[in-house]
């Protein structure tokens, strides 16, 4: 579709932080390919690939990646990002999307350059600009990708050429855009969906991991109060911070602060953990026992999060749980439908904890009640796109937590007076 001249035209307008480096000989690729003896050579090999994937010979790198069966992981993700950007700058969109999907499948976020390269590609053709841009927005929305401010700035720059705009906006607690007053749809889960999830959780996650004796003991505790408002994975939320590891005083204090906040709101709280919670200072243990129900397992494996999720599920569709773990390993055990139901439940009920060293206090992050991924309005005239100041390597999978998220209200026509980017 595009002539050979496309690339040179495109390269002229790309962000020049992404420079092409000199041409590399075929011998160098051949040597590189043979030099890798095994995983122990990976660091140097990947370093070289990272440089070469920014060169004009990036397709040779692509061949190497394919021939060596290189997987996208933390060490190699930059190579995959570079190749994706190169593919878009070369107008090879099929390859670009294939690479983007590979990055996404491994739960990484494509970096700024890949999206900037794609936006460069989109802006080359007025007739297909909106259609192509929406393909990217649908991708980030569907996969809960949160792009950086740099990408939104580039998007605004491109969209302006065609009479649209990207305006910085704020969303209220219930998801109303302060710029256009559109309300983001609420997150909902029907009782039937909730019961389906609970049943699948019991069959595929709970029963294979927890012996029936332990489960019997847990059920006695859970049934005692019928239901809880909050279930907390005590070890996860108290060991997440650098100076709390191995510090039983700090751990006891963190959990006390969390419990204090929830009890002030009159919430019924269940704590799950292991026996060593009892080694915390007596004052903390007494306070926690007085104000919550505590279940301490002697299970050797790390199954506290399974108890936590089960405690929340048996407490009903209004119960919440508190952990900073994304629980992805457990989710993998579920069917495709179960995964979808789990994610939706998690988005609505998981609370995260942060600790502020300056004020020596903990903060509980409540989940948002509305969809907070990139979405098109029902009348298809606008998009609302979440973004972060700095790029994220991993996708927070729709769970806006300690990462401060801002919003852009994007229109394709009628440029707004409030444009801020
Ligand atoms: Zn808006």
Other C-beta atoms lying within 10 Å of the C-beta of residue 393: 11
Ligand 1 centroid – CA 128 distance (Å): 24
Ligand 1 centroid – CA 139 distance (Å): 19
Q: Which residue, 126, 45, 123, is CA-closest to 79?
A: 45
Q: Span 5-183: which CATH code?
A: 1.25.40
Ligand 1 centroid – CA 107 distance (Å): 28
Task: Give the ranges where 148-211 is alpha helix by DSSP (H).
Answer: 149-160, 191-201, 207-209
Residues near ligand 1 ion, CB 5 Å cutoff: 177, 179-180, 182, 409
100's tokens: 């983007």
Partnered with residue 271 across adjacent β-strands are 232, 294
Q: 3-state class of 208 per DSSP? A: helix
Ligand 1 centroid – CA 41 distance (Å): 50
Ligand 1 centroid – CA 92 distance (Å): 33
* pLDDT, tens digit only, all 421 positions of the chain: 333 344 544 544 444 444 444 455 666 766 766 666 655 557 788 888 999 999 988 999 999 999 888 899 888 999 999 999 999 999 999 999 999 999 998 888 899 999 999 999 999 998 999 999 999 999 999 988 889 999 999 999 999 888 888 999 999 988 999 999 999 999 999 999 999 999 999 999 999 999 888 888 888 888 776 789 999 999 999 987 777 777 888 899 999 999 999 999 999 999 999 988 888 999 999 999 999 999 998 777 778 999 999 999 999 999 999 998 888 889 889 999 999 999 999 989 999 988 888 888 899 988 888 988 899 998 767 999 999 988 877 665 545 455 668 999 999 874 444 444 5
Ligand 1 centroid – CA 93 distance (Å): 30
Ligand 1 centroid – CA 175 distance (Å): 10
Ligand 1 centroid – CA 274 distance (Å): 47
Ligand 1 centroid – CA 108 distance (Å): 28
Ligand 1 centroid – CA 384 distance (Å): 6
Ligand 1 centroid – CA 88 distance (Å): 29
Place of tokens 């649209």: 164
Cα dihedral 247, 248, 254, 257, rounded to 10, equals -140
Ligand 1 centroid – CA 263 distance (Å): 37
CATH 1.25.40 region(s) of the chain? Answer: 5-183
Ligand 1 centroid – CA 184 distance (Å): 9
Give Cα separations from 264 to 124, 216, 219, 324, 368 (angstroms). 57, 31, 26, 22, 21
Ligand 1 centroid – CA 421 distance (Å): 15
Place of tokens 């590979």: 102
356's tokens: 């502020």
Q: What is the SS3 string spanning 64-119?
A: HHHHCCCCCCCCCHHHHHHHHHHHHHCCCHHHHHHHHHHHHHCCECCCHHHHHHHH
Ligand 1 centroid – CA 406 distance (Å): 12
108's tokens: 């990484």
Tell me the C-alpha distance between 212 and 62, whole Å. Answer: 51
Ligand 1 centroid – CA 145 distance (Å): 19
Strands 230-233 and 269-274: parallel
Q: 3-state class of 321 per DSSP? A: strand
Instruction: Please report how the helices 112-122 and 77-89 are oriented relative to each other, as an axis angle in degrees rounded to 10.
Output: 10
Q: Which residue, 107, 46, 105, is CA-closest to 78?
A: 46
Ligand 1 centroid – CA 416 distance (Å): 11
pTM of the full structure: 0.74
103's tokens: 């990055």
Ligand 1 centroid – CA 181 distance (Å): 6
Q: Report whether 197 contacts 345 (CB < 8 A).
A: yes
Burial, 167: exposed, middle or buried (Cβ in 10 Å; 0-12, 13-18, 19+)? buried
Burial, 285: exposed, middle or buried (Cβ in 10 Å; 0-12, 13-18, 19+)? middle
9's tokens: 């035209």
Ligand 1 centroid – CA 409 distance (Å): 4
Q: How many residues does the chain have?
A: 421
Ligand 1 centroid – CA 188 distance (Å): 21
Tell me the C-alpha distance between 420 and 269, whole Å. Answer: 44
Ligand 1 centroid – CA 376 distance (Å): 10
The pLDDT assigned to 18 comes to: 44
Ligand 1 centroid – CA 410 distance (Å): 7
Topology adopted by domain 191-365: Rossmann fold (3.40.50)
Query: Residue 168: enclosing H or E segment and its boundaries?
Result: strand 165-169
DSSP state of 389: S
CB-hemisphere CA count at 13 Å for 191? 2
Tell me the C-alpha distance between 394 and 387, whole Å. Answer: 13
Partnered with residue 401 across adjacent β-strands are none
Partnered with residue 370 across adjacent β-strands are 186
CATH 3.40.50.11980 region(s) of the chain? Answer: 191-365
Q: Report whether 307 contacts 210 (CB < 8 A).
A: yes
């Amino acid at each position: 579709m595009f002539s050979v001249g496309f690339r040179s035209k495109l390269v002229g307008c790309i962000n020049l932080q992404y420079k092409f480096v000199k041409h590399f000989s075929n011998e160098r690729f051949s040597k590189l390919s043979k030099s890798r003896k095994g995983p122990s050579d990976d660091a140097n090999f990947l370093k070289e690939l990272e440089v070469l994937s920014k060169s004009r010979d990036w397709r040779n790198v692509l061949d190497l990646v394919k021939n060596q069966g290189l997987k996208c992981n933390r060490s190699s993700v930059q190579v995959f990002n570079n190749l994706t950007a190169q593919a878009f700058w070369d107008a090879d969109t099929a390859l670009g999307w294939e690479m983007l999907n590979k990055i996404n499948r491994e739960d990484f976020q494509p970096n700024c350059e890949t999206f900037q390269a794609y936006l460069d590609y989109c802006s080359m053709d007025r007739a297909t600009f909106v259609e192509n841009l929406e393909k990217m927005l649908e991708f980030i929305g569907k996969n809960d990708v949160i792009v950086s401010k740099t990408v939104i700035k580039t998007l605004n720059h491109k969209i302006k050429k065609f009479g649209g705009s990207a305006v910085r906006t704020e969303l209220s607690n219930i998801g109303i855009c302060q710029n256009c007053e559109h309300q983001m749809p609420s997150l909902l889960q029907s009782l039937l969906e909730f019961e389906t999830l609970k049943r699948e959780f019991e069959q595929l996650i709970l029963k294979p991991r927890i012996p029936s004796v332990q489960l019997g003991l847990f059920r006695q505790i859970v049934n005692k109060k019928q239901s809880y408002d909050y279930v907390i994975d005590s070890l996860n939320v108290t060991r997440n911070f650098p100076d709390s590891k191995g510090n039983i005083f700090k751990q006891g204090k963190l959990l006390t602060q969390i419990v204090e906040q929830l009890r002030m709101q009159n919430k019924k709280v269940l704590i799950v953990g292991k026996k060593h919670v009892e080694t915390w200072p007596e004052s903390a243990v007494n306070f926690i026992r007085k104000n919550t129900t505590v279940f301490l397992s002697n299970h050797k494996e790390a199954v506290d999060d399974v108890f936590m999720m089960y405690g929340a599920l048996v407490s009903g569709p209004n119960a919440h749980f508190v952990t900073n773990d994304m629980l992805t390993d457990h989710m993998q055990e579920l069917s495709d439908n179960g995964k979808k139901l789990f994610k939706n439940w998690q988005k609505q009920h998981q609370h995260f904890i942060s600790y502020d060293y300056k004020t020596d206090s903990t903060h509980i992050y409540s989940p948002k009640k509305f969809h907070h991924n990139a979405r098109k309005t029902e009348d298809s005239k606008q998009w609302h796109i979440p973004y972060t100041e700095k790029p994220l390597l991993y996708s927070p999978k729709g769970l806006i937590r300690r990462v401060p998220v801002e919003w852009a209200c994007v229109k394709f026509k009628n440029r707004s007076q409030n444009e801020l980017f």
